[in-house]
Amino acid sequence: MSPHAHITGWGMYVPERVMTNADLEKIVDTNDEWIVSRTGIRERRIASDEETTASLATEAALRALEVANLSPSDIDLIIVATSSPEHLFPATACLVQDRLGAGKAGAFDLLAACSGFIFALDMAAQAIRSGSIQNAVVIGSETLTRMLDWNDRNTCILFGDGAGAFVLQAGEDPAGVLSSVMRSDGSGGDALSIPAGGSRFPTSIETLQNGLHFLQMDGREVYRFATRVMSQVTQEAIESAHLKIEDIQLIIPHQANLRIIEAAARGLKVPLERCFINLDRYGNTSTASIPIATCEAIEQGRLKPGDKVVFVGFGAGLTWGAAVVQWSGPFPGRRKVYPARYRYYARLRSWMLRILRRLDAIIWGGLHREK
């Protein structure tokens, strides 16, 4: 029998700096009343100069490993879903792999914008179910506020920084990720994009002058799309798990806009209380919003082992998706593992690997000259 992909660890990390709607009033022509009534957002977190997408991701991953009682050397696969990668390449996931000292893990980034965490969860679950890996870490991490035009009140009020992570492990009990649905429609790609900085519009004086390296959005278009797909894809994922909406204890939607979540709840004919909401404190943290919300739902006792939960999201691409999960909790532990201690081991390991690579280059250079 093929194994099941259980979620056995979870962790979140958000920057300390809080930016309230009142702070935004000093930057752009907006006000708290408008932002709260149109979005539900009251404040968001902003990464410090020292914090990066990889550093936030690493902190969230270490916390998730701590819950799962798993050491970084046990990880087979790291997927970082992000809309604000550190570079085009190397992948942010590789930077995280190095910072964790996860010596045997394959690592890659997944770009499906705000739906990225659900897509990454699906990929990791498939790899576990196929029997090719045992343990995976799936992370959503963002410093998207660095890609915003702080003069554009249509977009800068919406987003925040943060990271969340899940540990997935192979297990025999029939629980964990029960179903998932991924959907895309590239014909709507221009509704939400960062046009420049890739190969289509390489960075130039013109792209900078025209602000094409900033996030651009047709808010109404995205709103219409989101309200159309959220309840629909939730239903699809529930049906594909051979369940009914009544079997679902909690819905954890992408935290973009309270009105979009209310519309989804109406479409599903469930009370809003069945949806977890924390966007008032973090804004839209893109790929990180679902795992951050999950961590807080667990902390508040709203998600317990045995519960069935739906994760549902949408984003640029256009992309949207949902996953149904029977919540597991950590597997009974062997010896206690302290993943945070690996931070120092990982730094030493990375430093030694760099020195070895230098030595290797010197030796090879010498041999080459002798020939």
Nearest residue to ligand COA, scored by beta-carbon proximity: 219
Selected from 30, 73, 126, 278, the binder of ligand COA by CB under 6 A is: 30
Selected from 8, 21, 39, 326, the binder of ligand COA by CB under 6 A is: 39
Residue 14 CA to its chain's centroid (Å): 12
Site string for ligand COA, 111-130 (x = CB under 6 A): ---x----------------
85-93, 118-126, 154-162, 342-350 -> range binding ligand COA (CB under 6 A): 154-162
CA end-to-end span of the chain: 56
d(CA 147, CA 247): 40
Q: How many CB atoms lie within 10 A of CB 48?
A: 12
Selected from 40, 140, 162, 315, the binder of ligand COA by CB under 6 A is: 315
Smallest gap from residue 257 Cβ to ligand COA (A)? 4
* 114 given a catalytic annotation: yes
* 21 given a catalytic annotation: no
Question: Count of H helices and E strands in the chain?
Answer: 11, 13
Q: Is the peptide bond before 348 cis (omega within 30 degrees of 0)?
A: no
Of 6, 69, 135, 254, the active-site residue reads: 254
Residue 157 sits in the site that holds ligand COA (CB under 6 A): yes
33-41, 160-168, 321-329, 354-362 -> range binding ligand COA (CB under 6 A): 33-41
Three-state secondary-structure class, residue 289 = helix
Element (H, E) at 141: strand 135-142
Q: Give me 110's structure tokens.
A: 């997944």
Residue 358 sits in the site that holds ligand COA (CB under 6 A): no
Residue 38 sits in the site that holds ligand COA (CB under 6 A): yes
Selected from 87, 104, 146, 220, the binder of ligand COA by CB under 6 A is: 220
H runs (alpha helix) in the chain: 21-25, 32-39, 53-68, 92-100, 116-129, 205-209, 219-240, 258-268, 279-282, 289-299, 342-370
Smallest gap from residue 227 Cβ to ligand COA (A)? 9
Residue 81 sits in the site that holds ligand COA (CB under 6 A): no
d(CA 216, CA 209): 14
Backbone angles phi, psi at 138, to 5 degrees: -115, 125
Smallest gap from residue 39 Cβ to ligand COA (A)? 5
Region 280-299 residues binding ligand COA, contact defined as CB under 6 A: 284
Encode 154-177 in three state secondary structure.
CCCCCECCEEEEEEEEEECCCCEE
* 254 given a catalytic annotation: yes
Residue 212 sits in the site that holds ligand COA (CB under 6 A): no
Contact set with ligand COA (CB under 6 A) = 30, 34, 38-39, 114, 153-154, 157-158, 192, 217, 219-220, 222-223, 256-257, 284, 315
Active site members: 114, 254, 284
